[in-house]
């Protein structure tokens, strides 16, 4: 078995979509970076790599057995064993996971570029291990877990705000005030005001979702800021992401 040493990881917990496991250039100062002393490296098929990167289901038992207690963390000069963790690659991309003792990849991380290149060198000329995915439920994307295409090309901040907007729209759809949907659609597309008045709540919501789930722009951001006002949980996320925007601008000036 191949092993890697002195690995920097930045864990994203409970993420079923790979686009939320941020690449190195999107890591932030306040992210909790950890150092792994030793961890197994597995060369796997494209299918299994996609399953680990973009899902949160049970991993093959044979894979878990192969990596059992072979990872060590260093904390305060002491070595701690990790039940199930590994670096996996399909030869084109890399992801690290830790199951926290369960059977699914609860925590995921990318690697720093230098260590990513090392992974590709280590598996060069080798054949991928064939692990069988025993049972899997076909994954469906929805408003709270958008299709990767709808997040493509966005920055970490934009992805976070887009997810926030989708959470607010989902809440709006299921609220006791469906008449508000037409109001927000008019905010989004004021030119259509006279037409919007004739739409049913359902038609208005579909149109609002279809319009906002593509890309990201200043219009998206404006709508998001307005729609979450007065909701403390949403406002906290909004403020956190906007602090990052000002930090980013300050670092550029």
Measured N-to-C along each axis, helices 180-188 and 156-173 cross at an angle, to the nearest 10 degrees, of: 150
Please list the pLDDT of the chain residue by residue as tens digits (253 residues). 999 999 999 999 999 999 999 999 999 999 989 999 999 999 999 999 999 999 999 999 999 999 999 999 988 888 899 999 999 999 999 999 999 999 999 999 999 999 999 999 999 999 999 999 988 888 889 999 999 999 999 999 999 999 999 999 999 998 888 789 999 999 999 998 889 989 999 999 999 999 999 999 999 999 999 999 999 999 999 998 988 765 554 454 4
The domain segmentation of the chain, as residue ranges, is 2-123, 148-252
CA 204/CA 195 separation, integer angstroms? 10
DSSP helix/strand/coil, 76: coil
Exposed, middle or buried, 191 (CB in 10 Å: 0-12/13-18/19+)?
exposed
* Residue-by-residue DSSP string for 15-64: --SGGGS--GGG--TTS-EEEEEEEEEEEB-HHHHHHHHT--SPPPHHHH
Longest Cα–Cα distance in the chain = 68
């Amino acid at each position: 078995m191949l092993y890697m040493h002195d690995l920097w990881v930045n864990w994203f917990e409970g993420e079923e979509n790979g686009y939320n496991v941020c690449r190195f250039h999107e890591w932030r100062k306040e992210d909790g970076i950890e150092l792994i002393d030793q961890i197994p490296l597995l060369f796997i098929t494209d299918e299994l790599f996609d399953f680990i990167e973009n899902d949160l289901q049970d991993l093959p038992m044979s894979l878990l057995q192969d990596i059992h207690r072979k990872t060590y963390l260093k904390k305060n000069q002491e070595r701690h064993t990790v039940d199930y963790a590994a670096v996996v690659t399909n030869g084109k991309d890399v992801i690290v996971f830790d199951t926290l003792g369960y059977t699914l990849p609860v925590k995921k991380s990318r690697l720093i570029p230098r260590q990513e290149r090392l992974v590709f060198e280590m598996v060069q000329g080798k054949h991928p291990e064939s692990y069988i995915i025993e049972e899997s439920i076909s994954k469906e994307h929805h408003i709270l877990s958008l299709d990767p295409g709808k997040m493509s090309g966005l920055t970490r901040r934009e992805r976070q705000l887009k997810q926030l907007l989708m959470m607010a729209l989902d809440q709006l759809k299921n609220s006791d005030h469906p008449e508000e949907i037409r109001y927000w659609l008019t905010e989004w597309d004021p030119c259509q005001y006279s037409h919007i008045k004739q739409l049913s709540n359902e038609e208005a919501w579909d149109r609002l979702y279809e319009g906002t789930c593509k890309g990201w722009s200043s219009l998206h951001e404006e709508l998001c800021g307005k729609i979450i006002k007065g909701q403390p949980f949403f406002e906290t996320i909004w403020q956190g992401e906007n602090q990052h925007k000002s930090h980013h601008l300050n670092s550029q000036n």
